[in-house]
Structure 1
Amino acid sequence: MGEMLFNDDDKVVQVAMQIVIEAGDARNAVGKALDCAAKFDFAGAKEYMEEAGSHISQAHNAQTEMIQSEIAGTENIQPSLLFNHAQDTLMTVMSEIHLTEKMLSVFERFYDRMNG
Protein backbone atom coordinates (compact mmCIF):
# COMPACT_ATOMS: atom_id res chain seq x y z
CA MET A 1 0.00 0.00 0.00
CA GLY A 2 1.27 3.50 -0.85
CA GLU A 3 2.39 6.15 1.59
CA MET A 4 -0.30 8.53 2.84
CA LEU A 5 0.29 12.03 1.48
CA PHE A 6 -1.91 13.72 4.07
CA ASN A 7 -3.18 13.18 7.57
CA ASP A 8 -6.32 14.14 9.43
CA ASP A 9 -4.70 17.42 10.48
CA ASP A 10 -4.23 18.47 6.86
CA LYS A 11 -6.23 21.67 6.33
CA VAL A 12 -7.13 20.70 2.76
CA VAL A 13 -8.66 17.44 4.01
CA GLN A 14 -10.57 19.24 6.77
CA VAL A 15 -11.97 21.87 4.41
CA ALA A 16 -12.81 19.31 1.74
CA MET A 17 -14.73 17.23 4.27
CA GLN A 18 -16.53 20.33 5.55
CA ILE A 19 -17.58 21.17 1.99
CA VAL A 20 -18.78 17.62 1.28
CA ILE A 21 -20.74 17.42 4.55
CA GLU A 22 -22.39 20.84 4.18
CA ALA A 23 -23.22 20.21 0.52
CA GLY A 24 -24.66 16.81 1.46
CA ASP A 25 -26.82 18.42 4.15
CA ALA A 26 -27.98 20.96 1.56
CA ARG A 27 -28.87 18.16 -0.85
CA ASN A 28 -30.88 16.41 1.87
CA ALA A 29 -32.80 19.63 2.59
CA VAL A 30 -33.55 20.06 -1.13
CA GLY A 31 -34.98 16.53 -1.21
CA LYS A 32 -37.20 17.33 1.77
CA ALA A 33 -38.33 20.54 0.06
CA LEU A 34 -39.40 18.54 -2.98
CA ASP A 35 -41.19 16.05 -0.70
CA CYS A 36 -43.11 18.99 0.78
CA ALA A 37 -43.98 20.30 -2.67
CA ALA A 38 -45.36 16.89 -3.59
CA LYS A 39 -47.83 17.38 -0.71
CA PHE A 40 -48.52 20.99 -1.79
CA ASP A 41 -46.81 22.21 1.39
CA PHE A 42 -45.04 25.16 -0.19
CA ALA A 43 -44.36 26.87 3.15
CA GLY A 44 -42.52 23.77 4.34
CA ALA A 45 -40.66 23.59 1.03
CA LYS A 46 -39.49 27.17 1.45
CA GLU A 47 -38.21 26.43 4.95
CA TYR A 48 -36.20 23.49 3.69
CA MET A 49 -34.83 25.59 0.83
CA GLU A 50 -33.68 28.20 3.36
CA GLU A 51 -31.93 25.41 5.24
CA ALA A 52 -30.33 24.23 1.99
CA GLY A 53 -29.20 27.77 1.28
CA SER A 54 -27.57 28.04 4.69
CA HIS A 55 -25.67 24.78 4.26
CA ILE A 56 -24.52 25.56 0.73
CA SER A 57 -23.37 29.03 1.82
CA GLN A 58 -21.21 27.46 4.52
CA ALA A 59 -19.73 25.03 1.99
CA HIS A 60 -19.10 27.79 -0.52
CA ASN A 61 -17.51 30.03 2.12
CA ALA A 62 -15.15 27.22 3.15
CA GLN A 63 -14.08 26.74 -0.45
CA THR A 64 -13.67 30.48 -1.00
CA GLU A 65 -11.55 30.89 2.14
CA MET A 66 -9.24 28.09 1.01
CA ILE A 67 -8.85 29.56 -2.48
CA GLN A 68 -8.25 33.05 -1.10
CA SER A 69 -5.64 31.66 1.31
CA GLU A 70 -3.76 30.11 -1.57
CA ILE A 71 -3.94 33.31 -3.61
CA ALA A 72 -2.71 35.34 -0.62
CA GLY A 73 0.16 32.91 -0.15
CA THR A 74 -0.86 31.82 3.36
CA GLU A 75 -1.68 28.26 2.21
CA ASN A 76 0.07 26.05 -0.31
CA ILE A 77 -2.64 23.75 -1.60
CA GLN A 78 -1.32 20.63 -3.24
CA PRO A 79 -3.50 18.98 -5.89
CA SER A 80 -6.06 16.85 -4.09
CA LEU A 81 -8.60 14.44 -5.51
CA LEU A 82 -10.64 14.88 -2.32
CA PHE A 83 -10.71 18.68 -2.68
CA ASN A 84 -11.66 18.30 -6.36
CA HIS A 85 -14.47 15.95 -5.33
CA ALA A 86 -15.63 18.48 -2.74
CA GLN A 87 -15.71 21.26 -5.33
CA ASP A 88 -17.58 19.04 -7.77
CA THR A 89 -20.11 18.14 -5.08
CA LEU A 90 -20.53 21.81 -4.18
CA MET A 91 -21.16 22.84 -7.78
CA THR A 92 -23.58 19.96 -8.38
CA VAL A 93 -25.65 20.73 -5.29
CA MET A 94 -25.65 24.45 -6.13
CA SER A 95 -27.17 23.49 -9.49
CA GLU A 96 -29.71 21.26 -7.78
CA ILE A 97 -30.71 24.14 -5.49
CA HIS A 98 -31.07 26.52 -8.41
CA LEU A 99 -33.18 24.07 -10.39
CA THR A 100 -35.33 23.20 -7.37
CA GLU A 101 -36.01 26.88 -6.68
CA LYS A 102 -37.29 27.27 -10.25
CA MET A 103 -39.35 24.08 -10.03
CA LEU A 104 -40.96 25.12 -6.75
CA SER A 105 -41.89 28.47 -8.24
CA VAL A 106 -43.54 26.79 -11.22
CA PHE A 107 -45.30 24.20 -9.04
CA GLU A 108 -46.66 26.85 -6.69
CA ARG A 109 -47.93 29.06 -9.52
CA PHE A 110 -49.54 26.07 -11.20
CA TYR A 111 -51.14 24.98 -7.91
CA ASP A 112 -52.46 28.51 -7.27
CA ARG A 113 -53.86 28.74 -10.79
CA MET A 114 -55.60 25.37 -10.50
CA ASN A 115 -57.09 26.20 -7.11
CA GLY A 116 -57.69 29.92 -7.44
Structure 2
Amino acid sequence: METQIFEIISHGGDARAYAYEALEAAKDEDFHKVEELLEKSQEELDLAHNTQTKLIQSEINGDKLEINLLVIHAQDQLMTAISEKNLIEQMVKLYKKISEK
Protein backbone atom coordinates (compact mmCIF):
# COMPACT_ATOMS: atom_id res chain seq x y z
CA MET A 1 0.00 0.00 0.00
CA GLU A 2 2.83 2.45 0.75
CA THR A 3 4.11 2.09 -2.79
CA GLN A 4 0.71 3.07 -4.16
CA ILE A 5 0.51 6.05 -1.83
CA PHE A 6 3.94 7.25 -2.96
CA GLU A 7 2.80 6.82 -6.58
CA ILE A 8 -0.12 9.17 -5.93
CA ILE A 9 2.18 11.73 -4.33
CA SER A 10 4.79 11.44 -7.08
CA HIS A 11 2.39 11.61 -10.01
CA GLY A 12 0.45 14.44 -8.37
CA GLY A 13 3.66 16.41 -7.89
CA ASP A 14 4.73 15.78 -11.48
CA ALA A 15 1.31 16.90 -12.71
CA ARG A 16 1.64 20.18 -10.79
CA ALA A 17 5.15 20.74 -12.11
CA TYR A 18 4.04 20.25 -15.72
CA ALA A 19 1.08 22.58 -15.20
CA TYR A 20 3.32 25.33 -13.84
CA GLU A 21 5.75 24.81 -16.73
CA ALA A 22 2.76 25.28 -19.03
CA LEU A 23 1.93 28.54 -17.30
CA GLU A 24 5.49 29.76 -17.86
CA ALA A 25 5.26 28.75 -21.53
CA ALA A 26 1.98 30.69 -21.80
CA LYS A 27 3.74 33.78 -20.47
CA ASP A 28 6.24 33.33 -23.30
CA GLU A 29 3.35 32.83 -25.76
CA ASP A 30 4.60 29.33 -26.67
CA PHE A 31 1.14 27.83 -26.87
CA HIS A 32 2.27 24.68 -28.67
CA LYS A 33 4.49 23.90 -25.69
CA VAL A 34 1.62 24.80 -23.36
CA GLU A 35 -0.58 22.12 -24.90
CA GLU A 36 2.16 19.49 -24.67
CA LEU A 37 2.81 20.29 -21.03
CA LEU A 38 -0.87 20.30 -20.09
CA GLU A 39 -1.23 16.89 -21.77
CA LYS A 40 1.69 15.58 -19.71
CA SER A 41 0.09 17.05 -16.61
CA GLN A 42 -3.17 15.28 -17.36
CA GLU A 43 -1.37 11.99 -18.00
CA GLU A 44 0.25 12.24 -14.57
CA LEU A 45 -3.09 13.07 -12.97
CA ASP A 46 -4.64 10.06 -14.69
CA LEU A 47 -1.91 7.79 -13.31
CA ALA A 48 -2.39 9.16 -9.79
CA HIS A 49 -6.16 8.89 -10.06
CA ASN A 50 -5.98 5.31 -11.33
CA THR A 51 -3.86 4.34 -8.33
CA GLN A 52 -6.28 6.12 -6.02
CA THR A 53 -9.18 4.25 -7.62
CA LYS A 54 -7.43 0.92 -7.05
CA LEU A 55 -7.03 1.73 -3.36
CA ILE A 56 -10.70 2.69 -3.10
CA GLN A 57 -11.81 -0.49 -4.87
CA SER A 58 -9.58 -2.53 -2.60
CA GLU A 59 -11.22 -1.02 0.45
CA ILE A 60 -14.68 -1.60 -1.01
CA ASN A 61 -13.72 -5.25 -1.44
CA GLY A 62 -12.95 -5.54 2.26
CA ASP A 63 -9.26 -4.69 2.49
CA LYS A 64 -8.89 -2.21 5.31
CA LEU A 65 -6.90 0.88 4.36
CA GLU A 66 -4.96 2.32 7.29
CA ILE A 67 -5.59 6.04 7.35
CA ASN A 68 -2.41 7.82 8.36
CA LEU A 69 -0.68 11.10 7.65
CA LEU A 70 0.88 9.71 4.48
CA VAL A 71 -2.52 8.79 3.02
CA ILE A 72 -3.89 12.20 3.90
CA HIS A 73 -0.85 13.85 2.30
CA ALA A 74 -1.37 11.82 -0.89
CA GLN A 75 -5.01 12.89 -1.10
CA ASP A 76 -4.04 16.50 -0.46
CA GLN A 77 -1.35 16.42 -3.15
CA LEU A 78 -3.71 14.93 -5.73
CA MET A 79 -6.59 17.28 -5.03
CA THR A 80 -4.30 20.30 -5.04
CA ALA A 81 -2.72 19.24 -8.32
CA ILE A 82 -6.15 18.85 -9.93
CA SER A 83 -7.31 22.25 -8.68
CA GLU A 84 -4.15 24.04 -9.70
CA LYS A 85 -4.14 22.47 -13.17
CA ASN A 86 -7.75 23.59 -13.67
CA LEU A 87 -6.89 27.13 -12.60
CA ILE A 88 -3.78 27.20 -14.80
CA GLU A 89 -5.87 26.10 -17.79
CA GLN A 90 -8.10 29.14 -17.23
CA MET A 91 -5.06 31.39 -16.91
CA VAL A 92 -3.68 30.01 -20.18
CA LYS A 93 -6.94 30.96 -21.89
CA LEU A 94 -6.46 34.52 -20.64
CA TYR A 95 -2.88 34.59 -21.93
CA LYS A 96 -4.14 33.42 -25.34
CA LYS A 97 -6.75 36.18 -25.46
CA ILE A 98 -4.18 38.78 -24.51
CA SER A 99 -1.77 37.43 -27.08
CA GLU A 100 -4.40 37.69 -29.84
CA LYS A 101 -4.87 41.43 -29.25
Give the shorter-chain TM-score range. over 0.9
Tell me how far apart the structure 1 counterparts of residues 80 and 44 of structure 2 sit (CA, whole Å). Answer: 14
Q: Structure 2: any 5+ residue segments left out of the alignment?
A: none
Count of matched residue positions in the alignment of Structure 1 and Structure 2: 101
2:64 aligned counterpart, secondary structure: coil
* CA shift digits 1:29-84 (9 cap, x unpaired): 011101111110011011100000000110011111101110121x2111221011
Tell me how far apart the structure 1 counterparts of residues 67 and 12 of structure 2 sit (CA, whole Å). Answer: 21
- The alpha-carbon deviation at position 105 of structure 1 amounts to 1.2
In structure 2, what is the equivalent of residue 83 of structure 1? 71
Q: Structure 1: any 5+ residue segments left out of the alignment?
A: 1-10
The percent identity for this pair of structures is 37
Q: Which runs of 4+ in 1 moved over 3 A?
A: none
CA RMSD of aligned residues (A): 0.9
Bigger Rg over Cα: 1
Conservation of the 8 A alpha-carbon contact between 2:27 and 2:95: no
More helix by share: 2
TM-score after normalising by structure 1: 0.83
